[in-house]
Amino acid sequence: MLFNKPHREFIPLDPNEGWHTAPGYPEPAPGQKAQVEQRILSSDLDDVNEKGSRTRLLKFNPGGVSAVPFKHKHWEEIYLMEGELQVGCDANGDGGETFKAPTYACRPPGVLHGPFGSKTGCVVIEFHYYDEKEKK
């Protein structure tokens, strides 16, 4: 694997700053917080050319739901740091299986996963990366 992410050395992170609506998740109503927010810690991920990697925090605010399942062409490793996450729920966040922190998942490219929700809120750290050897 070849990565070109910048070298960073223990950057202070304000837990309340730097969050944005995560792509593929519902946009918030005006004046409201997004259901699901991301904070990119480091990235050179290039989905068009299928290379690079990304490290991000993903936060489900209480009641946050992703309405549809996802499938990626990259690897995805997830560590549920705090809270609980429902996997395979419906658009209202009901059903599926609930996992509580600390929990870990690793998904190879092409695996259909989700939808996700969290009634109480949660934070995960995600590692996304393309394996350059798999393209050859």
114 vs 134, residue with greater confidence: 114
| Mean pLDDT score across all residues of the chain | 91
Q: Report all structural domains of the chain as residue ranges with CATH numbers, in order of start.
A: 34-135 (2.60.120.10)
Q: In which band, very low, low, confident or very high, does the pLDDT at 56 lie, cut at 50, 70 and 90? A: very high
Q: In which band, very low, low, confident or very high, does the pLDDT at 11 lie, cut at 50, 70 and 90? A: confident
Predicted pLDDT at 8: 85
Predicted pLDDT at 95: 93
Q: In which band, very low, low, confident or very high, does the pLDDT at 2 lie, cut at 50, 70 and 90? A: low
Compute the distance between CA of residue 95 and CA of residue 115 in angstroms, rounded to an integer: 10
Percentage of residues in the chain with pLDDT exceeding 90?
Answer: 69
* Whether the Cβ atoms of residue 2 and residue 131 lie closer than 8 Å to each other: no
Joined tokens for residue 134: 């798999």
Distance linking the first and last C-alpha atoms of the chain:
12
